[in-house]
Amino acid sequence: MLLMVVATLLWSTAGVVTRHLEHAQKFEVTFWRSLFTVLSLLVILPLMQGRGVFARMRHGGAALWVSGLCWCGMFTFFMLAIMLTTVANVLVTMSLTPLLTALAARIFIGHRVPTRTWAAIGVAGFGIAYMYASQLGQGVSMAGTLVALCVPVSGAANWTVTQHAHAQGNDVDLIPAVLIGAVLSSLITFPLAWPFQASGHDLGLLAGLGLGQLAIPCVLAVLCTKVLKAPEVALLGLLEVIFGILLTWLGAGEAPGHDVLVGGTLVIGALVANEIVAWRGRACVQI
């Protein structure tokens, strides 16, 4: 549990760090973070899984590469959204991932969605709708918010693919999938990032994001999922929203608006209630 908290704290640093960049722009920020993630994982993966890990990736099957494509979407859309709208907006929108995953699993692989989750989806959907409607009423551009919405959609697709593969007896190794996602993200954003404008200061910060905000916490989270139960991971993962908003508020002076606080409270409250009920239900069954 402590490692999962550390992972969420590291994830949450993206917003405050990007607010201190000097010259790097949207696609360049995404490119450098993804590239430094690739370089970090090229060192971390062999240390964790041996030198044969790259050879095994060639035989990982379609699910591994689809998962990598989903990771690419999550990495790319997240950084673009961070550069287009407030950190609080992005993080609250990202927190929809567990609920969208439940919907996707119901639609595409026939998983039953419990009544409590339907209720959580309704409350969270209302919270997001309120947040978006308030911003539209204030004349705020919706581009960043719509890009941010692509992050939980990519996440839901990723977990649905891996669940489907698991049901067929083919477990996806998520750490190599993260590497594939980072490679694809850097390749896609490279031509869009040209000409580069990042200063040495920017490159130092982005290298820190690649290693400390993405590569290391993703590895920690994958390790934690092998020990913690799904509701525990989901609840602890929500700390990223709280940590991220607080760090950006304290470290960059970016205070969340009233609409984000109200909508975010509804979304997080619905998620917490849903996971706590699931947790208690499993505990009762075990007893």
179-198: per-residue pLDDT in tens? Answer: 999 999 999 999 999 889 99
The model carries a pTM of 0.86
Six token digits for residue 42: 């090229």
* Averaged pLDDT, 25-32: 93
Six token digits for residue 25: 């722009």
Cα–Cα distance, 27 to 88 (Å, whole number): 20
Cα–Cα distance, 218 to 71 (Å, whole number): 11
Nearest by Cα to 162 from 175, 147, 176, 174:
174
54-79: per-residue pLDDT in tens? Answer: 888 887 788 899 999 999 999 999 99
* Averaged pLDDT, 165-183: 85
286 has pLDDT over 60? no
**Residue 254 CB burial class (10 angstroms; 0-12, 13-18, ≥19):** middle
285 has pLDDT over 60? no
Please report, for residues 40, 98, 213, 229, the alpha-carbon distance to residue 283 in angstroms, rounded to integers and kept in the order given: 39, 20, 33, 11
**Residue 240 CB burial class (10 angstroms; 0-12, 13-18, ≥19):** buried
Give the list of residues 6+ apart from residue 5 with CB closer than 8 angstroms, or none.
236, 239
pLDDT tier at 282, thresholds 50, 70, 90: low
- Mean pLDDT, the chain, as a whole number? 86
> What pLDDT does 79 receive?
93
Q: Taking the alpha carbons of 97, 98, 104, 107 in that order, is the dihedral positive or negative?
A: negative
Nearest by Cα to 204 from 23, 46, 66:
23
274 has pLDDT over 90? no
Six token digits for residue 16: 């405050």
Cα–Cα distance, 8 to 243 (Å, whole number): 8
